[in-house]
Structure 1
Amino acid sequence: MNVKTKLSDRLRPLLLGAALLAATAQAQVRPLDRVVAIVDNDVVMQSQLDARLREVQQTIDKRGGALPPEHVLSQQVLERLIIENIQLQIGERSGIRITDEELNQAMGTIAQRNGMSLEQFRDALARDGLSYADARDQVRREMVISRVRQRRVAERIQVTDQEVQNFLASDLGKMQLSEEFRLANILIPVSEGASSNEIQAADRQAQELYQQLQQGADFAQLAVARSASENALEGGEMGWRKAGQLPPPFDSMISQLNLGEVTEPVRTPGGFIILKLIEKRGGDTQVRDEVHVRHILIKPSEIRSEEETRRLVERLYQRIVAGEDFAELAKNFSEDPGSALNGGDLNWIDPNALVPEFREVMSNTASGELSKPFKSPYGWHVLQVLGRRATDNSEEFRKQQAANLLRNRKYDEELQAWLRQIRDEAYVETKL
């Protein structure tokens, strides 16, 4: 298997939204490099655009799709770089930093998922003409963007107990465990406060694309050329979704499609969306994995800097390694009010209920082992895995799963709205 293809496939689930190898890697210095976009206090360079264009073209070629005209593809890629740049600047202003330790841990995880040691991973990148330093930089950028979204989008989403109960009582809630769908989308955007003429123009564009698809046009090619969704350059690929994760009326429409079919354009708050059903799989598994874990959380504060917080967690880690009781240290030091009095014990928990940073470290820590200190959006942690098990599906799990589905549904909508908002609010001057 080509290593470059394999790494791209493996990296996509790890990092929010983008493939590592479709990276804004720093290109070799060119004497004629120039600015192609001014974005608030930063710029996008021609070398960045060229590097990303090459990677997108390679990805489309491997998929066997036809490339849109170069000027169309350039505009799409530039828009993606602009959105990424805005998010990175937000991360910079918010003080989001990825430490070398976190980055090393992420790179080690990527290597492990590809069945390699870190040294083998370096060699594999080199054989494919990829710089390990550039790969690290792109992973860092993706981690920053993920944390920006976690803070700005996910934390604003609330799911009430009543919403969960209503969902479970609905026909959709009862059937959501049965099937899962691999989807792609095309979005024709409509800005907030758009005039009726603008809405009608977007509707006509969406209907035109729908007719082309009905006549056999390639969905992925149209997504790359015409879609405003953030996954456009991946051919509109959304990955796997349950019906309950989709906003109405897609939640019911998608179940009526055969493989390869598309929905008619549907008006949503963000614009007109067309979905394609690529693949289905059953959801009849009646067990789930649970992990028994305990942790110590230390948070930065006005009187304790980020570095002082990290050093405190490191000292606690060394004390546990030296033989001190984890539970006692958690009771005395942990700043997680939900678990500190229980010695940091989170009991048996579904990994999907945890933030990605915590879940990632937990998944790579063997039962009975202690993790090294790591950072999440909540602060600095050290965790210990006490056991793993598979449990039968229960009413409590169904409630948790329903809450996660509703949260994901709201997240997808909120993310698109937030991306449009930050794009509209940013100063952007393109020079293509």
Structure 2
Amino acid sequence: MKQILAYSVLAASILVAVPAAHAQLMPSAQPTAGKMDIGDGSIDRIVAVVEEDVILQSELNEAINAIVRQYAANPGQLPPKDVLARQVLDRLILMKLQVQRANDQNIHVTDQEIDSAAANVAQQNKMSLDQLRGAVEQDGYSYAAFRQQLSDQIIAQRLHESVVRDQVTVTDAEVNNLLASPSYKAGEVHLAHIQVGTPADASADAIAQAQAKAEEAVKAVKGGMDFNAAAIRYSDAPDALDGGDLGWRRLDEVPPAFAEAVSSLKAGETTPILRGPTGFQVLKLIETRQPGRQVVTEYHARQILIKPSEVVTPEQAEKKAQDLYTRIVDKHEDFAKLAKDDSKDNTTANVGGDMGWFQKDAWGQAIATQIEALKDDEVGKPFQTDAGWIVMQRLGARQSDVTEESQRNQARQAIGTRKADEAYENYLRELRSTSFVDIRVPELRDPDDKQASATP
């Protein structure tokens, strides 16, 4: 069972900073059928068949060891070995299913994109690429396997984007309704959670067992167990091994049934057990922060764009722009008339080059740099952009309160995020329930899951 609120954290986890670059590594072995010698005299075995792929014991061991290493300073936070093994195996199964489905849809990733992702991980961990490779290999892992994991994560992200792009739309009416709703609450919350999931077709006994497990988790927290440790031990959400941390999110992004409970909490407090569409939840409010008024600087400017073309060389375009600058500054010719006569920008030429009021980055970095350097009414020297050579005059600057516009954008994003989470949650549940997954090792099967080894 995968938690709606948590999936976006899981999908992006490999691309955000971690305490050590190798702390989250779960390298993938190259699967082969049957048993094989894994180098220490022991025999590797297949622990699970996932459609036409397999997960080997060595692959599972490496993934478990990576988690154990991550919690080396606090080993008591980890659940019993059998529970940890099942949690990690479930992660591996879900990732393989997503990559398989993505491949079926011709979703791929290039070596250059993997290089960029690796560089991002290195940068966020204040390492060079060589240092990252050394950190990976120092722990006995293959750097090629690390790159494969990056590839799988990127592919899973793109599958997520593909699914929600086809299913999620947000209308102006929905935005208006949210902003006008008495239940609309601004601000952001930092949450952690414990989830005990139930299948879509759960029996009364399965629901009762899940509730009992959630109650056991609450009892442990009330008895003094750290909430993150309890999440690691009891939660079956994808972020369980991260202590159930959901990060910061706007309160209106939280499902309404949970938002009401969260909004009544103080920092450090937890909700009672909440029943949701995917099971039982216990949420902890870590911190809150309120939005302030959002005031930005806007600029008013006008431009003349000279583009190189089949008949105008780049050198000629530059010379033309310089000539126009001289005519405006030295000969005091009318900027608007020259823009109408000579500018090749279809959106501004007919209005004398007027770009209207805009925030600094609205027209790209080159214009942003120039507009800040100019004074009001000053005409800047020609500068080059991807579009061509530009002569620009700054007409004014003002401070604008964009709080209302920002709230609408945030409300739209909140609705979209919530819909996307729900859509992908349903997608993952269906993917898992309709795929062939045969867990070959009995002790790795979920004792509450009677379908752990079955053919759909």
**Aligned AA (2:221):** L
1:256 aligns with 2:264: yes
Name the residue aligned to 1:398.
407
Cα displacement (A) at 1:112? 3.3
Which structure would you say has the larger Rg?
2
Secondary structure of residue in 2 paired with 1:164: helix
Cα displacement (A) at 1:289? 10
Q: 1:120 to 1:210 in 2, by over 3 A?
A: closer
* Runs of 5+ unmatched residues, structure 2: 1-11, 31-37, 299-309, 318-344, 349-354, 369-384, 389-396, 442-456
Q: How far apart are the structure 1 equivalents of 2:283 and 2:297?
A: 31
Name the residue aligned to 1:162.
173
Cα displacement (A) at 1:199? 2.5
Name the residue aligned to 2:302.
none
**Aligned 8 A contact 2:122 2:129 in 1:** yes
Cα displacement (A) at 1:84? 0.9
Q: How far apart are the structure 2 equivalents of 1:26 and 1:166?
A: 46
Secondary structure of residue in 1 paired with 2:282: strand
**Aligned 8 A contact 1:263 1:274 in 2:** yes
Secondary structure of residue in 2 paired with 1:261: coil
Name the residue aligned to 1:148.
159
Q: 1:216 to 1:225 in 2, by over 3 A?
A: same
* Runs of 5+ unmatched residues, structure 1: 1-10, 291-318, 326-339, 352-364, 370-382
Find the partner of 2:196 among 188, 208, 216.
Answer: 188
**Aligned AA (1:254):** V
Secondary structure of residue in 1 paired with 2:122: helix
Find the partner of 1:267 among 257, 272, 275.
Answer: 275
Q: 1:109 to 1:205 in 2, by over 3 A?
A: closer
Q: 1:111 to 1:15 in 2, by over 3 A?
A: closer
Name the residue aligned to 1:223.
231
Q: 1:124 to 1:58 in 2, by over 3 A?
A: closer
The TM-score with structure 2 as length reference comes to: 0.66
Name the residue aligned to 1:423.
432
Secondary structure of residue in 1 paired with 2:200: coil
**Aligned 8 A contact 2:79 2:233 in 1:** yes
1:237 aligns with 2:262: no
**Aligned 8 A contact 1:98 1:144 in 2:** yes
Secondary structure of residue in 1 paired with 2:287: strand
Cα displacement (A) at 1:348? 7.1
Q: How far apart are the structure 1 equivalents of 2:51 and 2:223?
A: 42
Q: How far apart are the structure 1 equivalents of 2:296 and 2:144?
A: 38
The TM-score with structure 1 as length reference comes to: 0.69
Q: How far apart are the structure 1 equivalents of 2:247 and 2:268?
A: 15
Name the residue aligned to 2:287.
279
Find the partner of 2:26 among 15, 24, 49.
Answer: 24
Give 1:96-115 correspondences, 5 Å limit.
Answer: 96-115=107-126
Q: How far apart are the structure 2 equivalents of 1:36 and 1:165?
A: 51
Secondary structure of residue in 2 paired with 1:97: coil
**Aligned 8 A contact 1:20 1:139 in 2:** no
1:213 aligns with 2:221: yes
Cα displacement (A) at 1:237? 1.3
Cα displacement (A) at 1:206? 2.1
Q: 1:135 to 1:171 in 2, by over 3 A?
A: same
**Aligned 8 A contact 2:99 2:152 in 1:** yes
Secondary structure of residue in 2 paired with 1:217: coil
Give 1:34-45 correspondences, 5 Å limit.
Answer: 34-45=45-56
**Aligned 8 A contact 2:26 2:64 in 1:** no
**Aligned AA (1:23):** L
Q: How far apart are the structure 2 equivalents of 1:93 and 1:428?
A: 18
1:87 aligns with 2:88: no
Cα displacement (A) at 1:281? 3.1
Name the residue aligned to 1:8.
none
Give 1:286-301 correspondences, 5 Å limit.
Answer: 286-287=294-295
**Aligned AA (1:430):** I
**Superposition RMSD on alpha carbons, in Å?**
3.9
**Aligned 8 A contact 1:368 1:384 in 2:** no
**Aligned AA (2:154):** M
**Aligned 8 A contact 2:168 2:419 in 1:** yes
Secondary structure of residue in 2 paired with 1:249: helix
